[in-house]
Amino acid sequence: AQSVSQHNHHVILSEAASLELGCNYSYGGTVNLFWYVQYPGQHLQLLLKYFSGDPLVKGIKGFEAEFIKSKFSFNLRKPSVQWSDTAEYFCAVTAVSASKIIFGSGTRLSIRP
Amino acid sequence: GAGVSQTPSNKVTEKGKYVELRCDPISGHTAIYWYRQSLGQGPEFLIYFQGTGAADDSGLPNDRFFAVRPEGSVSTLKIQRTERGDSAVYLCASSLTPPGLAGDLQETQYFGPGTRLLVL
């Protein structure tokens, strides 16, 4: 069965610090990978997605993620965070041709102004 | 354009009651998905509709949960004999085309704001 692990439950950073949120998935086949973000009081929004090709994916708001197939990882990065990045971040995976998205448990990111 | 909408935004009910949660997908989207998000967890898949039929209902926890999409647009999630453990945020998502297309053609799922269900 597919699963997604996000090992950091709560990350606290100061503004301008660099960010890396870990994500590992478990699935033996070809996958599509996603990062979703949920800002306070708002609904889930897609941050970035990987389907194929360049394993370094760039998303909105300066975020990027790197797919490392050998490590089953899809870590999210941002070189310099802002207070407005305070949110819950979810890593997710689908098997190609599957309907369901499997989500991790989320990482809450708090940014100190 | 308008996104996915869900009503009601909040629902409080008593144990044993019946509830219906509604999802309006983005106009023109053919696929609808329901997820449930418990406190401190990521969303968990419940059911997926392509058109009017449930193409994958493997995530429904038991037979108290049922969903319909009779005209291929709006979908309703129905929960019978609610239990306190059903308390969660129920999320709906829609996509333009069905999953199963490899690579960049696979359509992104766009999520609604959710319905927060509290069973007392």
Residue bearing tokens 């269900």: B117
Reading chain B (120 residues) residue by residue, the pLDDT tens digits are 589 999 999 999 999 999 999 999 999 888 999 999 998 899 999 999 988 888 899 999 999 999 999 998 999 999 999 999 999 999 999 988 776 654 455 578 899 999 999 999
Q: CA angle, B85 as apex, B112 and A35 as ends, to 5°?
A: 35
- Of the residues A60, A99, A102, A107, the best mutation for testing chain B's interface (the one with the most B CB atoms within 10 Å of its CB) is A99
Alpha-carbon gap, residue A28 to A2, rounded angstroms: 8
Q: Give the pLDDT confidence score for residue B58 in this predicted structure.
A: 92
Q: Give the pLDDT confidence score for residue B104 in this predicted structure.
A: 54
Report the DSSP pairing between strands B53-56 and A64-68. Answer: unpaired
Contact B104 A51 (CB under 8 A): yes
| Residue-wise pLDDT tens digits, A55-110 | 999 999 999 999 999 999 999 999 999 999 999 999 999 887 777 889 999 999 99
Instruction: List CB contacts of A78: < 8 A, sequence separation 6 or more.
Output: A18, A19, A61, A62, A63, A64, A85
> Which among A92, A99, A104 is the nearest to B33, CB-wise?
A99
User: CA of A96: how far to CAs of A40, B3, B64, in Å?
Assistant: 31, 25, 30
> Which A residues 23-62 touch B at CB under 8 Å?
30, 32, 36, 42-46, 49, 51-52
Nearest chain A residue to B111 by CA distance is A44
Alpha-carbon gap, residue B30 to B53, rounded angstroms: 11
Do A104 and A92 form a contact (C-beta atoms < 8 A)?
Answer: yes
Give all domains of chain A, ordered by start, each with its CATH number.
Answer: 3-112 (2.60.40.10)
Name the CATH superfamily, with its identifier, for domain B5-98. Answer: Immunoglobulins (2.60.40.10)
Instruction: List CB contacts of A65: < 8 A, sequence separation 6 or more.
Output: A23, A33, A35, A48, A50, A56, A57, A59, A74, A75, A76, A77
Contact B114 A98 (CB under 8 A): no
Q: For residue B51, which amino acid is it?
A: G
